[in-house]
Structure formats: structure tokens, C-alpha cells
Structure 1
């Protein structure tokens, strides 16, 4: 595609049929998608299955495997369509997803194919932020980290799971924000200010790096404050201060639940329960949730945990929580 057909001949590259327009190079997952793509104006088709070309005016490109081809295609596309990429740490990026700002910035999200699709659809003047260093390296980019100081903020009051604070002379009351995560929020705002990007802080919520869920004794999610059982999902590389607050809890029990493959280095004086498989985790949680308390799961994502519990028949009615407030 450096020569014939040149990648510059195609207007866009699309991985989804609904994104195909006139001049698109379409990456097809099945032969059944191709007629509709051609009808919508696709100029070329990439596929890793055997097909018989039926239109001589269309570029037909057969590859061994689309997944392994995507990074190569993306590198080639970026040679013709350069973009500005900036690396942002994961915990900071999670807060950026919650902040509203103009489309001059593009936040990459999801797995490699989803991020690739976002890049193909990006505008030439957009600056692209990404928290996945491995992905950036895989598509041949040098990692440029945006260095931004956390903006000043005054914490007025807080509980274990809520924080009231003043940012830029505006008071935000009882945000769903764990106090130790305030620094990452301040850094996220610092990133936007350094990039001179206007923003609106209106829909904050818990982020996957430290995410509490109120549940019943079988792990079913309840509304905020409706249970005396709380399951907290926390990254293993967070500041130890995020866990130290639970050492002071006297009104209920607290414990850490850690997979054996993760090295947890914080010296936290709480009971520690280790598990080596998903079955062990499910049985452990059934035991732990028999009594009220805070259970902190280290290095486990909430969506992964609830799907496991549902698949093993522990949770009778799994539903994804889309905002607790």
C-alpha cells in the first residue's frame, strides 16, 4: 500500500460498516459485510478470509490476520496522516473521561482495535491522549508524556467515599470521590489547563482505579448507601494512603482481598485474604459477604468481578451500574 493502491487514495479507513462512506477503505470481519460496504461507496476492502472479487474497480487486499495487520496499517496511515499523541497516566486519564471539553482533544479508550478505529476517524488538528504505553509503542510512536502539575484545591470535608472541595473558587459538594483520588483529579484538570482546553466539571463519578459498590450478601449491586456491605475495587499501584484510611475504621470490619500473582507492597494493618483462581475468589467473597464490612479487592476490575460472580451463579441478577448518582 506504499505504491498501488496508495493508502492516500482512500478518504477514510473504517472497521465498522456503519462508518463506511464514499472513498473508505473497509476492514471487513466477514465476507457478508462486503456488499453493503461497496454499496455505501467503499473504494477498498481488507479481509483475512478467502473471497472472490466481484468488482474490478474496488481494491481487494487479502491479509493473513486482521488483528496483527492493524498496527502495521496504522503506522502506514500515520505516515500519510500524522497526528499529535500525548501519553497520560491511567489514573489521570480516568478522570479526563468524566470531564466535558471541546473536541480539540481525543481520548483513546478501549482495546487496541477500538483505539485504532478512533485514530482512523480522528481529525488532523486533534491532539490524541492515550494511557496505554504498550499500544503507542506497538504502532511505532515515541512516547511523549505531558507533564502537568496538579492544580490547587481545598478539601472542605470528606468521608471514606465522598469529598467536598473547592476548585478554581467553585465549591463542589459531596462528590463521589475518594479523598486519596483528589490528586489525580487535580492532575487531570492540570493537563487540560496546560493544553489550554476549556472544560466543564459536572459529571464526576468513581473511576475504575478505586471504585466502591454497595452490595447484598450475594454480591448483587445496590444503590449507594443501601447496604452495610461494600466491595471496593482498587489498583495495586495506588498511593498507600488510599488504603490507610480503612485502618482507622472502627464501626465495621475491613479486609484486603489479593490475587496471589500481584505483589502488594503497602504496609496496611488489615486482614489479608489471598486467592489463586476465580473459583477461590467466588467462594471467598461468599464467605466475606455473610457479614457487614468493607472488602477491598486489589488488582481486580469491577466488570470482570461481577461477570465472574454471575457466570458462577453467585449473583442471580447481574446488572452493570451506570453511575451511582
Structure 2
């Protein structure tokens, strides 16, 4: 991209008259800088190294010394907005896949294809800018207001079977995913299968994650205890569906719901402790040494 186009696109201020005229690559990670890069200098201390590695443009959000007058120095008000403006410009014609938050998490953890970019943070936007062949996935619904080339992910009907509360079977493979997310998995699988992308079935997500614990709330191996803490649930638009699934499948068990105000219930008898907006960490009890009291 030409320096003049870049400066206008990100509403920047060109601080000098550079010798170079364009940039070829975008990054905010100094380790990725190479000849022709545009470097977003979120850490001022990284600028000298970026220049040494061959940066053609330095983007800053504050006044800094101009160390090399031959390359471009551009000042912006907001890194995030500047990066998104470049992403938008470069992807107006590229298809973007939209999924709900669970499908998004499943795709992120299934993915093994370098062409797939799951948009979580600024560096993901930059990676999408740099790739020529790419499959961009987002969970942000406001993208529909910006891009005309949005494709919402659709499920492909699969023969899935429930395996207890926390797992399901796909063909001969046991997925570490509760059956409540069956349709989400079908959407994720369809995305990879239809586009012939690399993926793994050996994955987990942090939501609805079981932690088997002993009487002292220490973690034990999967299935080795009758006490399970379910982590990662949020009181959001998905929770009611998850709650119905839990109630329907734990009718004959003692089930307690844990948040910041009810965390003492973890010390009471239970079979399932469902953490909602609460970050449970198993206890770690150090074994006493030979000379400890």
C-alpha cells in the first residue's frame, strides 16, 4: 500500500517526508518485522529493533524521536481504529464467516489451517490483512453493518450421540464437548469440511468444562470422582439453554449453582457444582515434608 493511501486510510499524520513510498506487510509484533513492514509501535522500546529488521513505516500514537528519516513515521490517535480501517479496506471483497460465540470458540480450537483467521484481537486483524488466501471467522454481529460479503455459518446434519453429560460421539470419535453444543459443532464441522480446511477433533473449549474433584476440592482425573465442578458458564443469552440441559440430565443428583455470593456451597455436599460468572480453581494442598510439623 502506498504511504499516502495508508496515511489517509488511518486518519494519520505523516511526521516526515520519507524516501520509501509503500509498505508490504503489517504487524504489531516486532519479532515479525521484516523488510517492507509497517510496524504498529505499541511499545516505544521496540521501534529501534523494528527499524533494524527493515520496517518501512512506523505507526505511533504519541510523539517519539524520528530515528530514521528515510522511512515513514505516521501518528494516529487510536491503534485499534487504525488497524480496523486497514482490515476493512483490504477485505471489502473477501468473504467473512459469522458464527455465534460457541461455534466461534469451537472453530478457534478445532482449527489447524494457517489460512483460517479467527478474529480475537488486533494481531488477528493484521494477520488477515497479510494473507492472500484466507477464511476469516468472527462472532461480531456488527460486521453485518460494515461488510456486504458476510456468510452466516450453517449446520450440516451429523450423526452425533450423547455420551454422558460432558461428551458426545461423532462417528467413532469421542468429542470433549457436551451434547448441548451439538448444533454448534455441526456448524463448525461444516465450515471446515465444505472449505476443505485442516482441523482436529481433539479439542476442548473453556465453557462447560468439567473438573472432577475430591472431597477437598483437589482436581482428580476425569471420571474418578462423583463430584464435578462445571466451569466457564456465563449468565448470558446462552445460559438458559445450558441450564435446561443441566437440569434435564442431573435429575437424580445433588446440583448447586455457584457465583461470588454462593461460593461457600462448594464446601457442602454436591454431585455437580455449576459455576456461573465465577472462576473456580481447584485447591492445591502441598504434601508435608519429612521435617514439617
Query: Fold conserved (TM > 0.5)?
Result: yes
2:291 matched to which residue of 1?
Answer: none
The DSSP-based 3-state class of the residue aligned with 1:107 is strand
> Aligned with 2:203: secondary structure?
coil
Q: 1:92 aligns to what? A: 103
Are the counterparts in 2 of residues 31 and 49 from structure 1 also a CA contact under 8 Å? no
What are the within-5 Å matches in structure 2 for residues 100-119 of structure 1? 100=111, 102-104=113-115, 106-111=116-121, 113-119=122-128
The two structures have a TM-score, normalised by structure 2, of 0.76
Q: CA shift at 1:59, angstroms?
A: 0.4
Which residues of 2 match residues 31-46 of structure 1 at below 5 A?
Answer: 31-46=44-59
SS of aligned partner of 2:262? helix
Distance 1:191 1:211 in 2: 24
Q: Show the 5 A alignment for 1:1-325.
A: 4=4, 6=6, 9-78=22-91, 83-100=94-111, 102-104=113-115, 106-111=116-121, 113-121=122-130, 123-134=131-142, 136=143, 140-142=146-148, 144-155=150-161, 158-166=163-171, 171-172=172-173, 174-195=174-195, 197-205=196-204, 207-216=205-214, 221-232=219-230, 233-235=232-234, 236-238=236-238, 240=241, 243-249=244-250, 252-257=253-258, 281=260, 284-298=262-276, 300=277, 305-306=279-280
For residues 27-85 of structure 1, give each alpha carbon's deviation from its aligned partner in whole angstroms, at most 9, with x where no partner exists. 00232111110000000101112212121101011223323433234334546xx5331
CA distance 1:226–1:145, change in 2 (3 Å)? same
Question: What is the CA-CA distance between 1:230 and the residue it aligns to?
Answer: 1.8
**Residues 213 and 228 in structure 2, CA contact (< 8 A), matched pair in contact too:** yes
Q: Kindly report structure 1 stretches of 4+ aligned residues shifted beyond 6 Å.
A: none
TM superposition shift of 1:16: 0.6
Point out the more displaced range, 56-65 or 95-104: 95-104
1:115 & 1:63 partners in 2: Cα distance? Answer: 20
| Alpha-carbon distance between aligned partners in 2 of 1:49 and 1:200, rounded to the nearest angstrom | 42
Consecutive unaligned residues of structure 2, counting only runs of 5 or more, are: 8-20, 286-293
Given the superposition, is the C-alpha separation of residues 241 and 11 from structure 1 closer, same or farther in structure 2, using an over 3 Å criterion? Answer: closer
- Number of corresponding residues: 269
Q: CA RMSD in A?
A: 3.2
Distance in 2 (CA, whole Å) between partners of 1:201 and 1:158 is 19
Distance change (3 Å), C-alpha of 1:67 and 1:164:
closer
Q: Decide whether aligned partners of structure 1 residues 256 and 141 sit closer, same or farther in structure 2, where only a CA change above 3 A counts.
A: same
CA deviations on 1:207-242 (whole Å, 9 max, x unpaired) are 234222224567554432244332223354337366
Distance 1:305 1:19 in 2: 34
Give the SS at the match of 2:192. Answer: helix
Residues 209 and 143 of structure 1, relative CA distance in 2, 3 Å threshold: farther
Cα distance in 2 for residues equivalent to 1:141 and 1:216:
50
Q: How has the CA–CA distance of structure 1 residues 181 and 284 changed in structure 2, closer, same or farther, with 3 Å as cutoff?
A: same
Give the structure-1-normalised TM-score.
0.69
1:12 and 1:25 in contact (8 A); partners too: yes
Map Cα deviations across residues 181-222 of structure 1 (whole Å, 9 max, x no partner).
222212221223333x154543133x2342222245675544
Q: Is the 8 A contact 1:255 1:296 kept in 2?
A: yes
